[in-house]
Amino acid sequence: MHSLDTSLREQVRVLGEGLGRTMRNALGDDFFRKVEQIRQLSKQLHRGQVEQQELIQALHALKDDELLPMARAFTQFLNLANAAEQHYRARERVVEDYRGGEQPGFKALLTRLKEGGHAPADLVQALERQQVELVFTAHPTEVSRRTLIQKYDALDACLAEYEASYQPALRERVLVRLEELIAQAWHTDEIRNQRPSPVDEAKWGFAVIENSLWQAVPAFYRALDRELEAQGASRLSLEAAPIRFASWMGGDRDGNPRVTARVTQEVLWLSRWMAADLYLRDVDQLRSELSMHQASDELIQYLGGPAREPYRVLLGQLRDRLRATLDWLKAQLDGQPYQDERVIFDADGLRAPLLLCYRSLCDQGMQVIAEGLLQDILRRLSAFGMNLLKLDVRQEAPRHAQALSEATQFLGLGDYALWDEQRRVDFLLHELTNPRPLLPTSWPCSEETQEVLATCRVIAKERADALGAYVISMAGQPSDVLAVALLLKAAGVKRAMRIVPLFETLADLERAPRVIDGLLALDWYRRYSSQHQEVMIGYSDSSKDAGQLGASWAQYRAQEALTQVCAQHQVALTLFHGRGGTMGRGGAPTQAAILAQPPGSVQGRLKVTEQGEMIRFKFGLPALAERALEVYTCAVLEATVAPPPAPLPAWRELMHQLAETGVQSYRALVKDHPDFVRYFRQLTPEQELAKLPLGSRPAKRKAGGGIESLRAIPWIFAWTQVRLMLPAWLGTDEALLKAEEAGQSELLREMVDGWPYFASNINMLEMVLAKVDLALVEEYEQLLVDEALHPLGRTLRQRQQTLQAVVLRLREQTELLQEVPLTRQAIHVRTPYIIPLHHLQAELLARVRACEQQGVCPTAEQQALLERALMVTIAGIAAGLRNTG
Amino acid at 382: S
Q: Is 46 a catalytic residue?
A: no
d(CA 48, CA 839): 17
* Cβ pair 831, 723 in contact under 8 A: no
Catalytic residue among 544, 577, 607, 618: 544
Residues 11-22: b if buried by 16+ CB within 10 A, e if exposed: bbebbbebbbeb
pLDDT in the model for residue 107: 92
pLDDT in the model for residue 881: 87
Q: At 612, give phi and psi (nearest 5°).
A: -50, -45
d(CA 211, CA 281): 13
Q: Which residues pair with 6 in a beta bridge?
A: none
* Cβ pair 599, 567 in contact under 8 A: no
* Cβ pair 728, 772 in contact under 8 A: no
Residues 479-489: b if buried by 16+ CB within 10 A, e if exposed: bbbbbbbbbbb
d(CA 250, CA 37): 46
d(CA 61, CA 390): 54
Q: Is the dihedral of CA 489, 491, 492, 498 positive or negative?
A: negative
* Cβ pair 502, 472 in contact under 8 A: yes
Amino acid at 187: H
d(CA 470, CA 452): 12
d(CA 577, CA 365): 46
Q: Is 139 a catalytic residue?
A: yes
Quick one: DSSP state of residue 212? I
pLDDT in the model for residue 89: 81
Exposure of 802 by Cβ count < 10 A (0-12 exposed, 13-18 middle, 19+ buried)? middle
Q: Which residues pair with 586 in a beta bridge?
A: none
d(CA 350, CA 322): 9
d(CA 466, CA 250): 13
pLDDT in the model for residue 166: 78
* Cα end-to-end distance, the chain, whole Å: 29
| DSSP alpha helix (H) spans, 335-469 | 347-363, 367-369, 375-384, 397-410, 421-432, 447-461
d(CA 554, CA 663): 11
Quick one: DSSP state of residue 195? P
Q: Which residues pair with 683 in a beta bridge?
A: none
Quick one: DSSP state of residue 700? B
Q: Is the dihedral of CA 169, 173, 178, 184 positive or negative?
A: positive
Amino acid at 630: E
Q: Which residues pair with 606 in a beta bridge?
A: 132
d(CA 108, CA 93): 15
* Cβ pair 429, 524 in contact under 8 A: yes
Directed axis angle between helix 478-490 and helix 397-410, to 10°? 60
* Cβ pair 522, 481 in contact under 8 A: no
pLDDT in the model for residue 105: 87
C-beta atoms surrounding 399 within 10 Å:
20
Catalytic residue among 139, 151, 203, 577: 139
Q: Which residues pair with 710 in a beta bridge?
A: 700
Beta strand 243-247 with 390-396 is: parallel
Walk me through the domains of the chain, giving residue ranges and CATH numbers. 261-384 (1.20.1440.90), 393-572+583-596 (no CATH), 649-684+722-819 (no CATH)
Question: What region, left, alpha or beta, does residue 398 occupy, with left being phi > 0 and alpha being psi -120 to 50 degrees?
Answer: alpha
pLDDT in the model for residue 557: 97
* Cβ pair 133, 246 in contact under 8 A: yes
Tell me the whole-structure pTM to 2 decimals. 0.92
Which residues in the chain come in under a pLDDT of 70?
A: 1-8, 96-104, 139-146, 192-193, 580-588, 692-713, 855, 858, 883-885
Beta strand 572-578 with 532-538 is: parallel
> What H or E segment, with its residue span, contains residue 555?
helix 548-568
Q: At 246, give phi and psi (nearest 5°).
A: -135, 180
Cα angle for residues 88, 91, 95 (degrees, 5° grid): 75
Length in residues, the chain: 885
> What H or E segment, with its residue span, contains residue 500?
strand 498-503
pLDDT in the model for residue 584: 46
Query: Considering only CA atoms, which of 67, 1, 83 is closest in space to residue 34?
Result: 67
Query: Considering only CA atoms, which of 379, 386, 144, 400 is closest in space to residue 238?
Result: 379
